[in-house]
Amino acid sequence: MFINLRRVRKCRIMHLFSMCCVLLVLMVCWEEVDYHIVSHVQSYSYRYLVNSYDFINKSLSVTRREADSSGRFPYLIDHKATCVGNDVLLLLFVKSSPKNFRRRQSIRSTWGNHTYLKKELGVTVKVVFVMGVSANRHERGALQEKLRAEDSLHGDLLQQDFADTFHNLTLKLLLQFRWAHARCAHARFLMSADDDVFVHVPNLVHYLQGLVQQGAVDVWVGHVHRGAPPVRRKSSKYYMPVQTYRWSSYPDYTAGAGYVVSRDVAEKIYQASLSLNALLHIDDVFMGMCANVARVSPQEHVYFSGEGKAPYHPCIYEKMITSHGHEDDVAYLWREATAPEVSNVSSGLVGKMYCTTVKILLLCRPFFINSYSCKAAFS
Ligand SMILES: *[C@@H]1O[C@H](CO)[C@@H](O)[C@H](O)[C@H]1NC(C)=O
Ligand SMILES: *[C@@H]1O[C@H](CO)[C@@H](O)[C@H](O)[C@H]1NC(C)=O
Ligand SMILES: *[C@@H]1O[C@H](CO)[C@@H](O)[C@H](O)[C@H]1NC(C)=O
Ligand SMILES: *[C@@H]1O[C@H](CO)[C@@H](O)[C@H](O)[C@H]1NC(C)=O
């Protein structure tokens, strides 16, 4: 009896002790727990249980005049005739910055090479680079001169007079949709991509041609974020103050690294952008808000990447659409990814089995969160 009681007491003490430990750890790491778990649980429950974003309409609307003035910066470099007289399949905006000369140059000589695309694919793809002005006043003058020289050579820059900073990305988004509305509304599709994204344009064009045969309306494809929570950490560049966005979840949106919309959606987004407060600096989230007001939903395409770089392999090249984080390897990747052998790599039963196996090994590793999801191995 006596022994038993002691055992029980010991047990209780152990129990209490471990509870305290857990509590202590929780208290110490609360910020982490809150950041990684609580905010996601809250936002997913909101997204999947409530799933009503009517507050966007109610709380973030502004008058058309206010919205119009928020994106009304004068053009420093503009082209009125880029699309005139062309049957443009795809208008491809590359979000660039004044000093990224090298990135633009490597895009022009690889996946953005008009001559190649016209000759090999027989379609018109217009690649234009969009930017503001350097935020550094001292280097602005010299950079502008270089930009004008670059533009007189290639004629593919669009520049407005706002500071080209991360927190002004929404202004760049407005630039794209307004310019498309005014100067290229007949392009069948519009794409927006970062200048460190690799776009496999031949694969993309084949995919879009398939969509055209199905009518090509109501299209918004990319790497979809569903029920993403606003980041409340001040140190993050995606930090969202509660005063600006107080709800627990963003509406669905596609990663800004690269997404495609059909022209009817582009027009709807443009219209919606004229009714919303563009203070929200995260451009792809703002796009999601516009789409929500316009009642357009994004569709997932497993070969659009969000943050990560696609693995280097012919079985991947055969399917990939976008891959993020490329600068020095663009020429290499373009050569490899468009090599004639790639188109045959998964032909026949053996080829299919080979590529599925390779893709499972490459994409379905635990904790592998780069580029494409494991699902992509089976498509
Ligand atoms: C663009 O493609 C054409 C046709 O394939 C090729 O002749 C030309 O060298 C390419 N341009 C650049 C800058 O690589
Ligand atoms: C955005 O651009 C405007 C116009 O150039 C500038 O006044 C403002 O400081 C910029 N905002 C940020 C956050 O960089
Ligand atoms: C937003 O408000 C407008 C006008 O009040 C309305 O026509 C539209 O349907 C609303 N959209 C959403 C998504 O609630
Ligand atoms: C790809 O396959 C086709 C027919 O199966 C064949 O004619 C062609 O030569 C192959 N191409 C390459 C580069 O192997």
Q: What is the DSSP letter of 244?
A: T
- 40-54, 151-165, 168-182, 316-330: range with lowest mean pLDDT: 40-54
Over the chain, what is the mean pLDDT?
Answer: 91
pLDDT tens for 312-352 read: 999 999 999 999 999 999 999 999 999 999 988 999 999 99
- Closest ligand to residue 166's CA: 2
- % the chain with pLDDT above 90: 70
Residue 366 has pLDDT above 80, yes or no: no
Q: Whose CA is nearest to atom 12 of ligand 3?
A: 293
Per-residue pLDDT averaged across 243-256, rounded? Answer: 93
Please give the pLDDT value at position 354. 95
Q: Report whether residue 344 contacts ligand 4, using a CB cutoff of 6 Å.
A: yes
Q: How far is CA 193 from CA 66, 75, 149, in A?
A: 27, 21, 24
Rounded CA Rg of the chain:
24
- Whole-number pLDDT of residue 13: 80
For residue 140 and ligand 2, the question of a CB distance below 6 A is answered with no
Measured from the alpha carbon of residue 294, the closest ligand is 3
More confident residue, 61 or 146: 146
Q: Is 57 in the pocket of ligand 3 (CB under 6 A)?
A: yes
**Nearest residue to 73 (alpha-carbon basis) of 147, 154, 165, 174:** 174
Q: What is the DSSP letter of 3?
A: H
Per-residue pLDDT tens digits for 44-58? 888 888 888 888 888
Query: Does ligand 2 lie within 6 Å of residue 165's CB atom?
Result: yes
Helices (H), 79-235: 101-108, 114-116, 137-154, 169-183, 201-213
Residue 136: what pLDDT?
Answer: 93
Question: 263-273 vs 283-293: helix axis angle to the nearest 10?
Answer: 100
64-300, CATH topology level: Spore Coat Polysaccharide Biosynthesis Protein SpsA; Chain A (3.90.550)
Q: Pick the more confident residue, 200 or 5.
A: 200
pLDDT at 139 over 80: yes
Residue found under tokens 């910055």: 97
Give the pocket of ligand 1 (CB within 6 Å). 109, 113, 115-116, 119
Atom of ligand 2 nearest to the CA of 167: 13
Segment 296-322 mean pLDDT = 94
Name the pairing type of β-strands 124-133 and 88-95: parallel
The per-residue pLDDT for 7 is: 67
Specify the pLDDT at position 3. Answer: 55
Are 337 and 317 spatial neighbours (Cβ–Cβ below 8 Å)? yes
pLDDT computed for residue 67 by the predictor: 82
Centre of ligand 1 from the C-alpha of residue 113, in Å: 6
Q: Is 42 exposed, middle or buried (0-12, 13-18, 19+ CB in 10 A)?
A: middle
Which ligand sits nearest to residue 251's alpha carbon?
3
**Which ligand 1 atom is the nearest neighbour of the CA of 108?**
13
In this structure, the residue with its CA closest to atom 12 of ligand 1 is 109
* Beta carbon of 162 within 6 Å of any ligand 2 atom: yes
Q: pLDDT per residue over 183-232, tens digit each? A: 999 999 999 999 999 999 999 999 999 999 999 899 999 999 999 999 99
Q: Give this prediction's pTM.
A: 0.89
Answer with the residue of higher pLDDT: 67 or 324: 324
Tell how far the Cα of 109 is from the centroid of ligand 1, in angstroms: 6
Q: 157-163 and 75-77 as β-strands: parallel, antiparallel, unpaired?
A: antiparallel
